[in-house]
Structure 1
Amino acid sequence: MAREIELRDARVRYGPLEALHGVDLPIAAGAMTVLVGRNGSGRSSALHAMAGVVPLTAGQVLWYGGAAHAREITALDTYRRSRLGVALLPAEQAVFPSLSVAENLAVPGPLGGGVDASVALFPELTRLLARTAGTLSGGEQRMVALSRVLTSPARLLLLDEFALGLAEEVTARVHATLAALVAAGRTVVLAEQSIPAEAAWDVAYELRRGDLVAARERVSGA
């Protein structure tokens, strides 16, 4: 299976704490991968390492991006990775709190398809466009942040517990959107405590205390 991005012998450290202990994590292109594990397992650190939010203390980040051969992007910053086609939805601080919702959706850059595309995906945002994003509920802020990622042209979507604060109907809509994006050839990586029942996943990795402890592929039709 072709790869989109890969962590190779990746180590991430926060002060005295090592969050990833030499993890090898190949991410299949055009597929949905789920990183599962409890809080502190290293799943968020793996997403952040792929996006360039946290630097590796050892190891490599390799980018394929549809090519047969990898390019090392270990030293590439977050902005330049986003220009390659990497989009991250962090678990926290995912909106610009001092800007209006409309301004959040219209911020120039590689993320987001604009206000119209975002409202088409989340009609709930229509009545919120003039509101300051920092005054919204957690679920409303999540929709603003999600819309920027889901309507972007990014090849690789990294979503950290995207359903936090969302209603079940909205969560189901996002899962359907992600499945459609994967069917169209995009690559999705979800970080979750367990595999969501609605997720049309292809590969699952289990992380535990910074180590990769299990990997499996979904049987076709299962």
Structure 2
Amino acid sequence: MAMPPSFRLVSGKALPVSDSAVYVGDARLQLARALQVAPARLQLLGPALLEDSLPLAVLLVDVQVWILPDLAENRLAKLAGVEKFDDLQEIVALQLSSKSLKTLPERFGLVCRDSLQSLRILHSGLRCLPESFCKMTALKQLVILQCNLPALPPSFVELPSLEELTITGSRLESLPQAIWTARALAAKDSQSGAALCQEIGQMVTLR
């Protein structure tokens, strides 16, 4: 019986792929989870670029895994004034202001998890937050000013250290109801505070 192919980064580091992977596409998904990147950023190379529909059983050579650059990460690094996206893990306070900013890179919350305490997003086109946003264990202050963010994700209540949430001039229509019972949170919204307070049904004043 032929041995299954091994998967390695360009650096030579071996990557785990379980026996449940039947096709190249299955392996791509497993590798993306292990590397915490989007599957589309991975290129799998055997004798040539491998298609997702190719059965792993027919591969007779090891597979080299390339991680393509994340353009969103590069743009945010430039906006934040750091050389590389991973340099954000050293930042304590960050202010972002750009109309071209529609979302944050998927790894944002993971990279900033233990360091970022204050995040201000001002006058941007922000429309959504990545799933990793709730991983930021150090975040105490979040300011969203003049953005297009329509809602906060339910996982927002999992931010363990958040003390102050300021939302001004956004399109925010609702807040996760558990946000008020999760912690003592000072929340402010200059335009839609009354509506939000009525919806949530809590004795909270939003200014």
State TM-score, norm by structure 1: 0.26
- TM-score, normalization: structure 2? 0.28
